Structure 1
Amino acid sequence: MTNKLLAAAVLLTAAPATAAWAQTTPTRGKIEDAEIEIVKERVNELPTATRNFEKVKIEAPAKTPAPLSYTYPDFRLPADKLNPAVRVLTIRQEELPELTGNYLKAGIGNYGTAYGRAYLHSTRSERGSYGLDFKHLSSSRGPVDKDNSRQSQTSLGLSGETYNGPLVLGAKVDLGRERYNFYGYDRNVPDLPKADSLKQVFKRAGLKVYARNRARDAAFQYDLGLGYNYWSDAFAASESNVYATLRSNYRLGETNRVRVDGDVSFISHKDSVTDRRPFVQVTPAFETTLNRLALSVGATLGYTGDTINNARQFNIYPAVRAAYTVTEDKLVAYAGLGGAIQRVTMYDLTTENPWLAPNVRVADTRRGPTVYFGFNATPARALSVNARVTLSNDRNLYFYNNSRRDSTKFELVYDQKSTQLVNVHGEVLYNAAEKLRLGLKADYNGYNVKTLAEAFHRPSFQSTLFGSYNFYEKLLVGAELYTYSSSYGAGYAPRFPGSPDRTGRQLVRPTDTVIDLNLRGDYRLMDNLSIFAMGNNLLGRDNARFLNYPVKGINVLAGVTYQF
């Protein structure tokens, strides 16, 4: 009986190939007798079945290529906050062994820089996974008066998931501590300030639990999260944020589905006063595919408790999008109407600009209505071209301006009327068999402000040119060139000649044009051991992204990576 079952399994395995051959081969009569040998050690691997539901792509009728991992995920040192989305040095995770991916890194550099990272994660399992990610980067000296501009960042992330059929239950814990100094002071004074008097320290803690469906063939898909974020600084300010997120959709048929996304947040911000900021937003939409045309029609309803500038608290925005496949797998053009309330928190703001003043006024941005249009194209193999134009009408869009009370610190300032924004985004990415990667990303932002002198510390142009090459899986080299156009900050003239009072007339001053060249290389000595070296700001420019805050000059870092 057992042998008969095994024989049947072998026949079923061979059935797809036999059926394909039979379609082109004429019938030759009766089946001849054959002897079947049973090999118990053999493992029969069935090809992945094609499922009809995977052919239905509501977002766009044509397949959209996944974003290329076009560069090192943490190419540059983040110490000088040149780019709000800064990253830390490490070898690309995708090069690590498939089932382990654990590594330890350590490096040292000039400016008294020390770097360490530990990435530890469980092997792949059908029952669950867990991991740890520890990072540390510090510089005991900086670009201004040595230890007066020292900085450090330390973070620890813990994560875990359990799998029970289609249900995934998970949790994440994030802890962090960052040290910065307010070194943007006037150096033309007899006595320079001491490092301890300039100190700013941020402490962060985050907890998130979530549940989602991992069965891709299920009609109902959901991702539900509940979290808590805590932030504090050296001036006894703190922020607590309890939030929940929902991303869900229900398939009505092969080409139709209903989507409902929602966000809830309650923030308590304590400084010299206590401010409570509730926030609720939901976006229901109906999505359908009509041959080459994909449509999504819905609306976004949002409420925020902010009252700054008497901006409207309850808002309704359209959520309409149309995408048309001009050429299958080659070109998709799209356009839409949108808008939403964008949640703004001190937790996030201080990752963009760590030199904020005490008692800043935080408000959510009302973005919309917006009009956007663009295209995604793959004109050739390994080449991706994307472009998008967005026109938006923003209320309470924040800008960073130097404080009147202390120009080394920054206030959040808002246009008392709406700010019109024109954004033009373009990118070209080329990825040749994971060996050669080239790309260019560029953004133009045109801000039309009414009651502010300038769009303070929001550059109108920024771009990234990057490339990397993998030599025989032994040497990986890369380069990135970042540019930011000059923006504006402010100084303040004394109210009376000779007076130390700096709360007089505002003097608008331009910031530096940022041109930042970075190079790096990773050399694999053996399967689990490699060395790396990188250089940042190799042109040696001040690159003051924020007024009065130059970055370190040429700085280098070298170290070793052990993978296991």
Structure 2
Amino acid sequence: MKKAVYIVLLVSLTSNVFAQARKKKQQPKKEVKAETKATRADTVLPTRTVIVTSAFQPSLKTTAKINFSGASPLPDSVRPVLQYNVPAQNLSFTYQSPALKPLAQNIDTSVHWENAGYLKAGYGNFTSPLLQAGVSLGDGVKSAINLRGYYTSSKSAVNEFQRFSKAGAEGIGIFSSPNNKNEWTGRVFFDNNTQYQYGFQPDTLKFSKDDLRQSFSTLGGSVALRNKTTNDAGINYNPAVSLNMFGDNHGARESNFVIKAPISKDFGENFSFNIGLTADITSYKSDTSSIDNTLYYLTPSVTYKTENFKAIAGITPSWDNNEFAMLPNIGVEFKLSEKKFIAQAGYTGYFNKTSYQYLASVNPWLQQPKFLLNTKMNELYAGFKGSVGSHLTYNAKVSYIEFANQPLFVNDTITGRSFEVLNESAMKAIRLHGELGYTVQEKFSLLAGATINRYSGLEDNIKPWGLVPMEINASLRWQIFKDFTLKSDLFFWDGANYRFKDLSYGKLDPALDLNAGVEFKVLPQLKGWVQINNIFNNQYERWKQYPVLGFNVMAGVIWSFGDIKTVMAK
């Protein structure tokens, strides 16, 4: 503003000077001289003073500031109530995943079901042909069917009667009901085992093949029904019926008819009630005897189960050939802290049904039985099981067992080539059992198990004839490369006690049998395989006077194909 005032004053003075000069030029020259004198006499201009009374400078008004307080709010102890609205689930699946049970085949919809088949053929050094075939049918959702057939045989080049053959066929089907709430399981099978009683002494005796031939055939089937989901009443059921016909080449015939009807009902989340009915009826006939062997029992029990604890309390009233017996059924399991370690203990009783079919599966060189007595066992046990990480599992148990009517096997008193069945009315045993497994997906698995029995307190026999005191098994499956798999099995057991034909007795030597094999891909649908059995060529005896075959090698191929309908159409 001051500069503006100064400029105004300067302009005003300048304008005044120029105005006076212009007037002088307009006057006559004579007057100019007089004016000039006069002007010279008054050469001092009057002083002009400009007084600035105020200087204006605009400014903003000071605004009020907000003061923030740093004090924290008071805590709110009232729990908020959250309202959840879960919409109705309208998804419906074709198949409901069942619980894990030891069925022959479980349909898993997470894996795409494909109908496929295979044909396996091979040959070995003991004139051992091998032929297997299998095929799967169905859609994998409503039905799944597996068909399988097999044949193999071997014979020694030294002993013409040291030979055997096995042949059979089997069909297993699983069918879902139309409403997808129940599942039917069916099985039909045929099995034939033929061997010869080559263990006679002295070996100079002469017998025909018909005299020494032991051939057992079984034809049977079973049907079972179970619910895949618990019904509205909280009841689960799984009834099953089976029938098989068994016979030998010496005129003996046996039928086994079994009905099982287990039912369970849940009460809340922790309690459940279980009851089952079992009827096992056996009818045996031979040229010299006729035996009816019946076994009925009920299994009512109550189960209490939480996340870390499980207890079962029940009884088993039974009728063994009309003889009543009450058996216990008590057990507990509890998990220690958060570790995958479960301790278990219990006291239970159960039966092993004795039939001609069962005895022949244990010792195929036996004579026709003269009696059939079921084995009753009461077992008091304690142990633990669990896993370490995601690959290692373990299981160990120690038991005290009381046996009643245990079948034993001794050589006959003439040549020793056949075995008589004896009965031990009462004996005791301390049993140690352990299992160990290490698995990595489907690429590697190592499983091992051991069982040790110490028998005592026999009332009718000196020794437990034919019973193995210790047994160790191991199995290895290793996919070394994508198309190359190694398989191996190990069997070891301590020799059983035997009674010789002259009534002397002893103990067989321990046995070790190691097997190994490989399987590799040759073509996309063709695989080759090699199997070596009894690598150490140990001709041990499981039964007195019956040495096994020695070193055995077999080789062959496996052809895999797709849908059998497509293959047959081509």
TM over 0.5: yes
Figure out how many residues of one structure are paired with residues of the other and give that number. Answer: 458
Give the whole-Å Cα distance in 2 for the aligned partners of 1:524 and 1:425.
Answer: 38
- Partner secondary structure for residue 299 of structure 2: strand
- The offset of 1:541, in angstroms, is 1.0
Gaps of 5+ in 2: 1-89, 105-110, 562-570
For 2:506 and 2:157, locate their aligned partners in 1 and report how far apart those are by CA, in whole Å. 21
Gaps of 5+ in 1: 1-44, 58-64, 68-72, 74-95, 307-312, 494-505
What is the CA distance between 1:193 and its match in structure 2? Answer: 2.6
Tell me which residue corresponds to 2:227.
213
Aligned equivalents of 2:145, 2:445: Cα separation in 1:
32
Q: Which moved more, 1:400-409 or 1:516-525?
A: 400-409
1:286 is matched with 302
| Matching residue of 1:40 | none
**Counterpart for residue 152 of structure 1:** 165
8 Å contact kept, 1:376–1:386: yes
Shift of 1:405: 4.6
* Residues 162, 381 of structure 1: alpha-carbon distance in 2 compared, 3 angstrom cutoff: closer
Aligned to 2:372: 362
Deviations 1:44-81 (A, max 9, x none): x9899xx9x99xx9xxxxxxx999xxxxx9xxxxxxxx
Which of these residues, 453, 456, 461, is aligned with residue 462 of structure 2? 453
Q: CA deviation at 1:97?
A: 8.6
In angstroms, what is the RMSD of aligned CA positions? 2.6
Label 1:143 to 1:376 Cα distance change in 2 as closer, same or farther (>3 A).
farther
Q: How does 1:300-379 map to 2 (within 5 A)?
A: 300-305=316-321, 313-328=323-338, 330-368=340-378, 370-379=379-388
Give, in whole Å, the separation in 1 of the partners of 2:257 and 2:92.
45
* Aligned mate of 2:198, from 183, 194, 203: 183
SS of alignment partner, residue 545 of structure 1: strand
Q: Does 1:198 align with 2:212?
A: yes
Indicate conservation of the 8 Å contact 2:369/2:421, yes or no. Answer: no
- Tell me how far 1:336 sits from its aligned partner: 0.5
> Structure 1 residue runs of 4+, over 3 Å off?
45-48
CA deviation profile, 1:454-485 (whole Å, cap 9, x unmatched): 11111111101332310222110022221010
Aligned residue among 501, 521, 524 for 1:524: 521
1:98: Cα distance to partner?
5.0
CA distance in 2, matches of 1:239, 1:212: 29
Distance in 2, Cα, partners of 1:66 & 1:258: 19
Given the alignment of the two structures, is residue 558 of structure 1 paired with residue 567 of structure 2, yes or no? no
Query: Residue in 2 aligned with 1:120?
Result: 135
Is 1:442–1:461's contact at 8 Å kept on the other side of the alignment? yes
- 1:385–1:429: 8 Å Cα contact kept in structure 2? yes
Residues 220 and 244 in structure 2, CA contact (< 8 A), matched pair in contact too: yes
Residue 473 in structure 1 maps to residue 470 in structure 2: no
2:291–2:371 contact (8 Å) kept in structure 1: no
* Code of the aligned partner of 2:284: H
What pairs with 1:22-61 in structure 2 (closer than 5 Å)? none
* TM-score, normalised relative to structure 2: 0.76
Instruction: Find the aligned partners of 1:423 and 1:553 in 2 and give their Cα distance.
Output: 31
- Tell me the equivalent position of 2:269: 254
Does the residue aligned with 1:533 lie in a helix, a strand or coil?
strand
Structure-2 residue corresponding to 1:433: 441
- Offset from partner CA, 1:346-402 (integer Å, 9 cap, x none): 12221221111123422100111x211111121232001110111111100111111
Q: Distance in 1 between matches of 2:352 and 2:116?
A: 35
Cα offset, 1:235, TM superposition: 1.4
Residue 419, structure 1, aligned to residue 416, structure 2: no
Give deviations 1:470-501, integer Å, cap 9, x for gaps: 022211002222101011212133xxxxxxxx
2:447/2:476 contact within 8 Å kept: yes
Distance 2:284 2:334 in 1: 45
1:29: which partner in 2? Answer: none
Deviations 1:244-286 (A, max 9, x none): 1123211111111111122101111102111111110111110
Give the 5 Å matches for 1:396-411. Answer: 396-411=405-420
Name the amino acid aligned to 2:401. S
Query: Does the aligned pair in 2 maintain the 1:292–1:325 contact within 8 Å?
Result: yes
- Asked whether the equivalents of residues 382 and 399 of structure 2 are also in contact (C-alpha less than 8 Å), the reply is yes
Q: In the alignment, what sits opposite 1:103?
A: 118
Residue type of the alignment partner of 2:522: L
Seq. identity, %: 21
Letter of the 2:153 partner, please give it.
S
What corresponds to 1:537 in structure 2? 534
Amino acid at match of 1:161: I
State TM-score, norm by structure 1. 0.77
**Partner amino acid for 1:540?**
N
Judged with a 3 Å threshold, the aligned counterparts in structure 2 of structure 1 residues 155 and 118 are, in CA distance, closer, same or farther, namely same
Q: State the Cα deviation string for residues 19-45 of structure 1 (Å, max 9, x = none).
A: xxxxxxxxxxxxxxxxxxxxxxxxxx9
